[in-house]
Structure 1
Amino acid sequence: MKMLIISCFDWYEKRTKTIIDYFQKQNMEVIYYTSDYEHIKKEYVKKSEQINYIHAIQYKKNFSIKRLLSHYVFSKRVYKILNKHVPDYVYILIPPNSMLKYAAKYHKKHSGTKLIVDIIDMWPESMPINMKIANCIPFIIWKDLRDKNLKEADWVFTECDLYQEILKKYISNNKISTLYLTKPKTVNINSHYYADSSKIVLVYLGSINNIIDIDLICVLIYRLSKERKVVLKIIGKGEKKSEFIKRAQEAKAQVIDEGVIFDDVLKHEILSKSDFGINIMKKQVYVGLTTKSIDYLSTGLPIINNIGGDTEYLIEKYKAGFNIIDENVEGVAFKILSDFDTRQEMRENAYKLYHENFTENEFRKKLDHYIKYII
C-alpha cells in the first residue's frame, strides 16, 4: 500500500516525521513531498536526499499576492504528483487551502484512494483582519477552497479542538478528530532554572509580526516594572521586531535580543532561565494552540497566555501559567508578583501539561485510536 504525505510548510519535527514513522510501521510505502521554499527564512532550502521537493515560487512578504500565487502553483503541482503516483492513501497538511481543492479534485476521480486532511492552521481566520474585510468576496472564496472541499475527505485531523467549531458545519462529527502537535523531548527539564525574587524574566519566542498583541504585552510589562525589574528576552525575528523592542523598553523592560535560534539545546537554556513565556496575540486571531506554547511547556516554562480555546483551557486545568485579557492585567500582574513561592510547582505543572498532551508517545496513542477509521 502506498501513501503520499504532502506539506507546503516545514512541520517535519513537530508533526510530519512522527506521521511518516507511524505509517511506515503499518507496512506502508510512504513517500513524503514538501516545498523547496523555507517560509520562515524566506529562502530556498538545502535539499535532503530523503525528501522529495516541489518547487515553489519565492515570496518575501507573508501577506501578499505573490505568496498566494506561490501556494496556488504549488497546489497545482501537487495534483500532477498525485496523478503520477496514484497512491492508495493521500495525507495532506493544510494550509494552503488550494491544496485541498486539488486533492479533492483528485479524490473525485479516484474514489478508491483515501484522503486524509490535517488542518494545522485556519486561513484566513488566523489572520488579524477586520471582520468587514474578512466577509468580502476574496476572503470568502479563500475560505471556501477549504470548507467546500472538506466533504471529499475520508478523515480530518485538526491541530486543536477550537477549529472544529467552524469545520463541523462542513464535515460529519464521526469523520473529524483533534491531533495535537508534538515536540520530541531533547534535554532535561529545568536544568538551569534558579528563581530570583528581585526580577521577573519574560521570554518571547517566534515570529514578531502583526498578529502579536504588542499593546497588551507592554501594558503588562509596565505594570510589573513598577515593583520589579523586568527582563524581556526575544528569540526570533519579524517585521515588528524593532517596534516590539522599542515599546518594551519604553515600558521599562531590559530587552535582550537573542536573535534567531534553531538549536534546541541553546533555546532550552534560554527558556529554562526564564520565569514565563509570552503567548499573546491580537483578539481577532483565530488560534487554539501555538508552536511556541509547546516549546515553552516542553522546558517546563509557565505561560502568560491570551489564546482562547485549547490553550486557555489547558493552562487553567494544569495551573501552568496565567490567562490574561485586557480587563485582568492588574490581577495577573498581582499574581505574578505575589506567587513567587509557587514558581517551581507551576513549572512542574507546565511540564506535566506537555508530557500528557504533546509528546510523540501521546501522538502515537491518538493515531492508534483512529487508525481503524483511516485504513
Structure 2
Amino acid sequence: MKDILIVAHFTQVPGEKGNGRFWYLADMLANSGQSVEIVTTQFSHRTKQQRNVQESQLKHIKYKLTMLQEKGYRKNVSLKRFYSHYTFGKNLRNYLKNRKKPDIIYCAVPSLDAAFVAAKYAKHNGIKFIIDIQDLWPEAFKMVFNLPVISDLIFHPMNKKANFIYNAADEIVAVSETYVNRALLANKQLKGGLSIFLGTELAHFDNLVIKNKVDKPKDEIQIAYIGTLGNSYDLIYVIDALALIKNKDINNIKFVVMGDGPLHSKFRDYAEQKQINVEFMGRLDYEKMVGVLVSCDIAVNPIKSNSAGSIINKVGDYAAAGLPVLNTQESEEYRRLIVDYNAGLNCKNSDPHDLAEKILILYNDPILRQKMGMNNRKLAEDKFDRKTNYKLIQSLIGSIL
C-alpha cells in the first residue's frame, strides 16, 4: 500500500455543499487500495468561517482528512487573504516536518503558499510531486487589480512563486489545456501534461435530475446562470440584453440566477431598475441546483473580458444538463469547443446588442435549441464525465507508484 498525500487548500469537506474534485479523486484512489490523506484548511473560503466538522461526518470517508489552522479573511482580494494563505502555508510546513514521508504529493494550485511549501518539501526529500492547476495566479488577481506596470511590480513575487511550483512538478495536471500550457512555459523538462476538466459524474448527475427536476410554465423560456455573483461575471451585460428584448414586447423570457456573492445586491437592484423578469435563487444545494438547471432552456456564460479562466466548473454542469450555451468568455479553448460541438453560440464580450440577437436566435428556434443542447450533452459525455476522465489521473499516479 502506497501513501498518497493530497494538498488541496480550497476543497469541500464532509457536510459541505459542492462537487469537489479532490474528495472524488481521494475516494477513487482509496478504493484502489492506496493510503490517502487530504490536507486542507480549517477555514472555509466559501462561507468565510472556520469549519466545524463533526466526527460523525467523517465515519463514511475512506481517506484521512486533516484540517490545519488558517487565520481567515472577509474579502477575496485583500491583504488579509494573502496573510491568511501565508499562515496556512506555514502550518503546512510544520505539519510536513512531523509527518511520515509520503510516496507522492498531489498538490492543488492555488493557493501558491501551500503549493510552494509542498514543492520545496518534495524536492528536498526526493518525493514525486504532481500539481493540479485549478486557476492561474497572479493572472486572476490582475483582472481585479489591473494597473499597467504597477500590477506587474506588485504581483512579481507571486509570479515568481508560481513559476517555481510549475518548474518543480514531476507531472502536470490541470483543468484545461490552457493551464497546462502556462505551466509548461516554466517547466522545460516536461513535454506535456494532462488536461482533465473539473466535470461531474454523469450517472450521479442524471440520478439527481430524476429526483429533483422542477416544472416550469410551458410558454416561458428560461435562461440559466449558475455561479458566483462577483467581479469576473458580467450579469449587468445579460440584464441589458434582456432589457433590449423586453423593449421588443417579448415578455416570456425569465432569467434564473443560481448563486451568491459580493455583487448580489448590485445585480438585483439593476435588474429591478431595468424591470426584467429575473429570479435570484441564492446558493443552492447541488441537488436542487441540478433540478432547476435542467428545467431551463438556455444557459449563459457571461465572463468578463481578459479573464484568466478557461474551462470553468459551470460549463461542465451546463453540458451535463444538455443546454445550449450563450458564451461571452474569450477563452479560445472553450470557444473552440462550442464551435466544434455546435453546442451553442459564442457572443461578443460586453456587447448587449449581440447577446440579445443570439438570445433571439435560440428563442425563435426550438429545434436549434434542442439540437445544440444534445450536442452539449455529447460534449459532457466526451470531456466532462469524471467516471471515465478521472481514471486518467489515477493511471498517471499509478504509473509513478
Q: Please give the TM-score of this superposition, normalised by the length of structure 1.
A: 0.90
SS of structure 1 residue aligned to 2:257: strand
Is residue 2:237 matched to residue 1:221?
Answer: no
CA distance in 2, matches of 1:250, 1:336: 26
Partner of 1:155: 171
1:205 aligned to which of 222, 226, 239: 226
1:44 aligned to which of 39, 47, 50: 50
- 8 Å CA contact retained: 1:124, 1:134: no
Distance apart, 1:321 and its partner CA: 2.0
- Per-residue CA deviations over 1:222-253 (Å, capped at 9, x if unaligned) read 23322522211121211111111222334442
CA distance in 1, matches of 2:276, 2:338: 25
- After superposition, the Cα gap between the structure-2 partners of 1:352 and 1:48, relative to the gap in structure 1 and judged at 3 Å, is farther
- 8 Å CA contact retained: 1:221, 1:252: no
Is residue 2:185 matched to residue 1:169?
Answer: yes
Is residue 2:102 matched to residue 1:116?
Answer: no
Partner of 1:360: 386
CA distance in 1, matches of 2:149, 2:316: 31
2:261 aligned to which of 238, 256, 263: 238
CA distance in 1, matches of 2:218, 2:327: 22
CA distance in 1, matches of 2:255, 2:346: 19
1:35 aligned to which of 34, 41, 66: 41
Task: Kindly report which structure 2 residues correspond to 1:1-375, keeping only aligned pairs within 5 A, or say none.
Answer: 1-10=2-11, 13-49=19-55, 50=58, 51-85=65-99, 86-111=101-126, 113-127=127-141, 128-129=143-144, 130=146, 132=148, 135-172=151-188, 173-174=190-191, 176-184=193-201, 185-188=204-207, 192=213, 198-225=219-246, 226-229=248-251, 230-262=253-285, 264-307=286-329, 308-326=331-349, 328-329=354-355, 331-367=357-393, 370-371=396-397, 374-375=400-401
User: Aligned letter for 1:105?
Assistant: K
Distance apart, 1:167 and its partner CA: 2.1
- Per-residue CA deviations over 1:111-141 (Å, capped at 9, x if unaligned) read 1x11111110111212423251674322121
User: Aligned letter for 2:114?
Assistant: M
User: Aligned letter for 1:321?
Assistant: G
CA distance in 1, matches of 2:25, 2:367: 41
CA distance in 2, matches of 1:366, 1:206: 27
CA distance in 2, matches of 1:34, 1:183: 21
Distance apart, 1:194 and its partner CA: 7.7
Gaps of 5+ in 1: none
- Give the aligned length: 373
SS of structure 2 residue aligned to 1:118: strand
CA distance in 2, matches of 1:52, 1:368: 22
Distance apart, 1:200 and its partner CA: 2.8
% identity of equivalent residues: 23
CA distance in 1, matches of 2:279, 2:30: 44
CA distance in 1, matches of 2:356, 2:223: 17
- 8 Å CA contact retained: 1:277, 1:302: yes
Q: Please give the TM-score of this superposition, normalised by the length of structure 2.
A: 0.85
CA RMSD in angstroms, aligned pairs only: 2.4
CA distance in 2, matches of 1:250, 1:373: 58
- 8 Å CA contact retained: 2:224, 2:298: yes
CA distance in 2, matches of 1:190, 1:57: 39
CA distance in 2, matches of 1:361, 1:151: 30
- After superposition, the Cα gap between the structure-2 partners of 1:119 and 1:205, relative to the gap in structure 1 and judged at 3 Å, is same
- After superposition, the Cα gap between the structure-2 partners of 1:300 and 1:286, relative to the gap in structure 1 and judged at 3 Å, is same
- 8 Å CA contact retained: 2:341, 2:379: yes
Distance apart, 1:7 and its partner CA: 0.8
CA distance in 1, matches of 2:298, 2:227: 15
- After superposition, the Cα gap between the structure-2 partners of 1:252 and 1:188, relative to the gap in structure 1 and judged at 3 Å, is farther
- After superposition, the Cα gap between the structure-2 partners of 1:259 and 1:248, relative to the gap in structure 1 and judged at 3 Å, is same
CA distance in 2, matches of 1:248, 1:323: 23
- After superposition, the Cα gap between the structure-2 partners of 1:68 and 1:104, relative to the gap in structure 1 and judged at 3 Å, is same
- Per-residue CA deviations over 1:231-280 (Å, capped at 9, x if unaligned) read 11121211111111222334442121212212x33212211221122211
User: Aligned letter for 2:110?
Assistant: P
SS of structure 1 residue aligned to 2:139: coil
Distance apart, 1:25 and its partner CA: 4.3
